[in-house]
Amino acid sequence: MTNTHSAFLKEMGITEWTSRDVVQATALVTEQTNAQASPEVAQSTPRASHGMWWFFGSEPQGDAQILFQNMIRVLGLAKNEWAWKNPSQSLSQLSAPEMPVVAIAFGGPTAQKITGERDPLPQLRETVLALNTGNEEEIPVIASFELNQVLAKPSDKALLWQDMLLARSVLQNS
């Protein structure tokens, strides 16, 4: 993880854990890359997109917006890799782009509405749900806390981050 990502995690109150194996592997890859490529070539290589993130819920305002922007930065998402979607619109009109998509539902009612599930948020979290579009394509959904709720109860920030990491894992494996 870059120093910028580490700084944002620290700002969000999230302790960063790194496996010793990952640190050793990263150091080895960095050494090999530096030995093979010049700095000019490494800087000009475009970053590959892993997919699209759809966020469902009310678009954050104030401190919640700052928290959301920090999450986007730490996840390393470019502006064209994420979008806010309205859970009130007809979900059958949503069509997945050519790249993989993962949806994040902020709040229990939003998660219930877009997935058709009836369980409360604690039972929906840490599970990969499916977007209820009525189409054949299945878009994975991760249910998480509303951002304002996380601001009111900071201990939930770590759980929110776990949900984002689950979403990233789902996206990378699709």
Q: What is the pLDDT of residues 58-107, one digit of tens each?
A: 899 999 999 999 999 999 999 999 999 988 888 877 777 788 999 999 99
Q: Which residue has the tokens 């490529």?
A: 37
d(CA 86, CA 71): 20
Residue with the bigger pLDDT between 11 and 144: it is 144
DSSP H helical ranges for 12-142: 20-36, 39-44, 63-75, 108-115, 121-124
The whole-number pLDDT of residue 39 equals 45
> How many CB atoms within 10 Å of residue 109?
14
Please provide the distance, in angstroms rounded to a whole number, between the alpha carbons at the two ends of the chain.
22
Which of 45-49, 134-138, 160-164 is predicted least confidently? 45-49
Q: Is 76 left (phi over 0), alpha (psi -120 to 50) or beta?
A: left
| Structural tokens at position 20 | 């010793």
User: Taking the model in full, what pTM does it have?
Assistant: 0.72
Q: Which of 30-34, 43-47, 85-89, 133-137 has the lowest mean pLDDT?
A: 43-47
Sign of CA dihedral 163, 130, 103, 98: positive
Q: What is the pLDDT of residue 14?
A: 73
